Each structure stands twice: as structure tokens, then as C-alpha cells.
């Protein structure tokens, strides 16, 4: 099938995930999906669509499958070197994290492993993780830096992410997370490192077009609100959007800062308070839930889902794929965890990985819904009800993955 020809999908059940459709899942039955040039040209009642389509192009029988928008994983760290399985085993055997870090473990062990790889090696090491996400239906993925912490290594991570996008049928949104941890070269002087991020790393990433957003780990073990504000100001000066790792381990009011700065998303937010909820609601900033890290770290403080829901805050769900706290290349696992651990409904989880995740990446106008004019990233599911996508793990009911209107097969 050519992406530049017209294609009509018939005999499908559509879960449009479109807020304009009040039906559960935005469902449309007896409708056909008309694709043209990699976009959705129209959604029409099936008989009308077949009459208007005539012999314009290819007709594909979905044979009763449910069609959803392609999944969007809006928070990952999937480009990195090494792994931390041995460190995880130590933690399970009772070794304190402080001791592990003192012995060279923790995030800086991933930094060392990532720095040792060149760009080719880094992309190759990351390829299986990205393919795993794609096999579950991910068509757009955010990839952060943050394991280089030098100019050369942060740019290397972002270039490796861009290389993956060029090699596979997937859209990649790159985010600069140089303010992820304090590198050993700046030990004891976080302000000097933030100067380096704002004056050297961030401008270089912007000049090369390697990042579209900037993230900060605003936390007691990361960077302060004042330091985060400086990074966001530098991001704005270079035309980049902002987002934040905030309120994961404590409440520093980082989410309110993200909202104040017009940020795309506030991520983690287990310790978010009511003022933070109100700030996100007022700014239209997306709350990104990351249940994989909550599960893997055996946390007990849940994000305030009921308060977010009541305030009308858009809630996205993402894998947080990373080697230290969420080593899961599975968007469906994240959706299931969001329901079981955080109390989302299956419908909210599906919206969280489609239209809400699109908004978290600044793509709400083009991705995440089945509607005329949207990018034709589609998933066909061999299921009887959309809740099955979230319900059962271990098997994969994904029948077809369509990227930009073209059926794709992932090896």
C-alpha cells in the first residue's frame, strides 16, 4: 500500500478517543475510515463512504476489528547504556541505596555505561527496547537524554534517538534532560552545573535542532525550584517547551513552576497537593502518571488521581522506560498498572496513551485521535471490547500497526 494513495478501512469498530464524541471510548460503529496521504481524510457512515470512495484507491476489510489511534509513550529514557539488574538484586537483598550509590551504583553507573558507547553503539543497544514498544502499538515516543551529563554525551544521546526515528516507522519526540543528576565533574556545585546546562548544553542542543523540549528533575535529590526555573528560562529563550519530573519523592511545588512556565507536562506527581492540582488545571498542563516507577520502587504514595479528575486535569500514562526505576518496555503494562495501582478506568488509560499523551508532547492538534485531519497512525485490535487492550498481559491482541497510513510489520 502506498501512503500517497487513498485507502478505505471498512467493517471496523472505531474507538476514536475523540472528546467530541461522548460515547465510551469515543466509539463509532458502522463507520469507515478514509485515509489519504498519511492522514485521516474523513470518517463517514460506511455505506456513504463506500459510495463516495468508489474506485479511488484500496479498500481494506478490517473484519470487525477495533481500531484505535496509535499509542503515544510520552515519557521514556530508552536511550542508555548498560543495565542495573545487579543493583536491583542488591536492593532486594537489603543493601541500602546509599551504600549502592557509594559503591558506584545508581544513576551515575548508567551515566558511565552511556558515556562508554559511541552514537552507533548507543542506538544499537536501544533498538530492542524501542521495537518492543512498537510491537505493542506505540507509534510516537518521547525519548529523553540525561545519562550523558556532558555536552558531547547529552548530544550523543539525542542524536542516537534521532537515528532510531530515521531507521524505524515511528515518530520520536526528543527532550533534553541534562538537568537529571549532578555529574561527578561538578560534584558539590550544582549551581555551576546548571550554569553549564543553561549556557552550553541547552543552546547547543537547540542550535542543532536535537530537542523540542527541556526537562528537569526538580527534587531534593535532583535540582531545586530556583535552579529548575533557570533551566526553563533558558529553554524559553531558545524556543523550546518545558516539562518536569516533579513531586515524585517530595513536594517542592515543582508542578506549579511547570504550570507557571506554560509547561507541557508535570510528570510523576505522587506528592502533588491541591494547590498543584489547581495550578495544572488553570494552565492546561498535562499530568503524566508513571506507575512503572511507583511499582518498581515499591512506593506507597499515590498521585492524587481523584483530585486531578475532579479538577479536569488531563491525565496521560507513560512507561517511564529507564534502567533504574522502570525497566519496562511495555506501554500496555503501564496502562494496566495505572488502572490497578492508581484507580484509572480502562477508558482513561486508553485516553492516557492517545489524546492525553499527544497533548503532553504538544501534538494534540495532530495525534492521538481518530478524526479528520489527524495523522493516520492506527492500531487494529483482535478484541471484542476496548477494555481488553488494558486487561490482559502476556499475549498481544494487536493485529495491525499502521503508521502514516501504511501497514507496518515490526520484526
Residues 6 or more apart from 55 whose CB is under 8 A from it?
none
pLDDT, position 330: 98
- Stretch among 68-72, 93-97, 283-287, 301-305 having the lowest mean pLDDT: 93-97
Q: How confident is the model at residue 382 (pLDDT cuts 50, 70, 90)?
A: very high
Q: How far apart are CA 73 and CA 170, in angstroms?
A: 11
Q: How far apart are CA 314 and CA 131, in angstroms?
A: 28
CATH code 3.20.20.140 region(s) in the chain: 71-360
Residues 6 or more apart from 133 whose CB is under 8 A from it?
73, 76, 78, 141, 319, 321, 329, 330, 331
Nearest to 379 by CA among 138, 144, 37: 138
Given a contact cutoff of 8 angstroms between Cβ atoms, the answer to whether 316 and 289 are in contact is yes
pLDDT, position 192: 98
DSSP letters, 191-222, are HHHHHHIIIIIHHHHHHTT--SEEEEEESTTS
Query: Is 362 a residue whose pLDDT tops 80?
Result: yes
Q: Tell me the whole-structure pTM to 2 decimals.
A: 0.97
Q: How far apart are CA 125 and CA 145, in angstroms?
A: 15
- Report pLDDT digits (tens) over 329-341: 999 999 999 999 9
Pick the CATH number of 71-360 from 3.30.70.370, 3.40.50.300, 3.20.20.140, 3.30.450.40: 3.20.20.140
Provide the 8-state DSSP code for 326.
Answer: B
Nearest to 288 by CA among 86, 404, 144, 121: 144
Q: How far apart are CA 120 and CA 81, in angstroms?
A: 12
The rounded percent of the chain whose pLDDT value lies above 90 is 94
Given a contact cutoff of 8 angstroms between Cβ atoms, the answer to whether 166 and 130 are in contact is no
Q: How confident is the model at residue 3 (pLDDT cuts 50, 70, 90)?
A: very low
Give whole-number Cα distances, 267 to 245, 272, 337, 378, 393, in Å.
5, 10, 16, 26, 25
**Buried-exposed string 85-119: b where 16+ CB fall within 10 A, e elsewhere:** eebbebbeeeeeeeebeeeebbbbbbbebbbebee
CATH code 2.30.40.10 region(s) in the chain: 7-68+372-408
Helix (H) / strand (E) containing 50: helix 46-53
CATH dotted code for 7-68+372-408: 2.30.40.10
Q: How confident is the model at residue 13 (pLDDT cuts 50, 70, 90)?
A: very high
Amino acid at each position: 500500500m502506498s501512503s500517497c494513495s487513498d485507502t478505505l478501512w471498512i467493517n471496523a469498530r472505531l474507538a476514536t478517543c475523540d472528546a467530541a464524541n461522548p460515547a465510551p471510548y469515543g466509539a463509532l460503529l458502522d463507520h469507515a475510515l478514509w485515509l489519504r496521504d498519511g492522514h485521516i481524510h474523513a470518517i463517514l457512515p460506511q455505506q456513504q463512504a463506500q459510495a463516495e470512495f468508489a474506485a479511488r484507491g484500496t479498500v481494506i476489510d478490517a473484519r470487525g476489528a477495533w481500531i484505535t489511534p496509535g499509542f503515544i509513550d510520552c515519557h521514556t529514557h530508552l536511550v542508555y547504556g548498560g543495565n542495573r539488574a545487579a543493583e536491583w538484586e542488591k536492593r532486594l537483598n537489603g543493601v541500602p541505596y546509599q551504600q549502592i550509590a557509594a559503591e558506584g551504583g545508581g544513576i551515575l553507573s548508567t551515566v558511565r555505561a552511556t558515556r562508554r558507547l559511541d552514537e552507533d553503539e548507543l542506538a544499537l543497544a536501544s533498538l530492542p527496547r524501542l521495537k518492543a514498544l512498537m510491537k505493542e502499538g506505540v507509534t510516537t515516543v518521547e525519548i529523553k537524554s540525561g545519562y550523558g551529563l556532558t555536552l558531547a554525551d547529552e548530544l550523543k544521546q539525542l542524536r542516537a534517538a534521532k537515528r532510531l526515528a530515521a531507521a524505524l516507522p515511528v515518530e520520536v519526540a526528543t527532550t533534553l534532560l541534562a538537568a537529571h543528576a549532578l555529574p561527578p565533574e561538578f560534584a558539590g556545585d550544582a549551581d555551576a552545573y546548571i550554569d553549564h546546562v543553561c549556557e552550553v548544553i541547552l543552546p547547543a542542543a537547540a542550535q542543532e535542532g536535537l530537542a523540542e523540549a527541556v526537562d528537569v528533575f526538580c527534587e531534593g535529590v535532583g535540582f531545586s525550584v530556583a535552579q529548575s526555573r533557570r533551566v526553563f528560562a533558558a529553554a524559553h529563550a531558545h524556543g523550546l517547551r518545558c516539562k518536569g519530573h516533579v513531586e515524585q519523592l517530595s513536594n517542592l511545588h515543582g508542578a506549579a513552576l511547570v504550570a507557571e512556565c506554560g509547561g507541557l507536562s508535570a510528570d510523576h506527581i505522587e506528592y502533588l497537593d491541591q494547590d498543584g492540582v489547581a495550578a495544572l488545571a488553570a494552565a492546561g498542563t498535562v499530568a503524566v502518571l508513571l506507575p512503572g516507577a511507583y511499582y518498581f520502587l515499591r512506593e506507597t504514595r499515590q498521585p492524587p488521581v481523584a483530585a486531578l479528575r475532579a479538577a479536569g486535569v488531563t491525565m496521560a500514562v507513560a512507561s517511564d522506560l529507564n534502567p533504574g526505576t522502570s525497566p519496562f518496555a511495555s506501554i500496555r503494562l503501564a496502562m494496566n498498572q495505572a488502572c490497578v495501582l492508581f484507580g484509572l478506568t480502562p477508558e482513561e488509560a486508553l485516553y492516557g496513551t492517545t489524546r492525553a499523551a499527544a497533548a503532553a508532547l504538544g501534538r494534540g492538534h495532530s495525534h492521538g485521535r481518530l478524526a479528520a485531519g489527524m495523522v493516520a497512525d492506527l492500531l487494529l485490535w483482535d478484541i471484542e471490547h476496548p477494555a481488553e487492550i488494558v486487561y490482559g498481559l502476556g499475549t498481544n491482541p494487536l493485529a495491525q500497526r499502521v503508521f502514516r497510513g501504511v501497514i507496518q510489520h515490526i520484526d
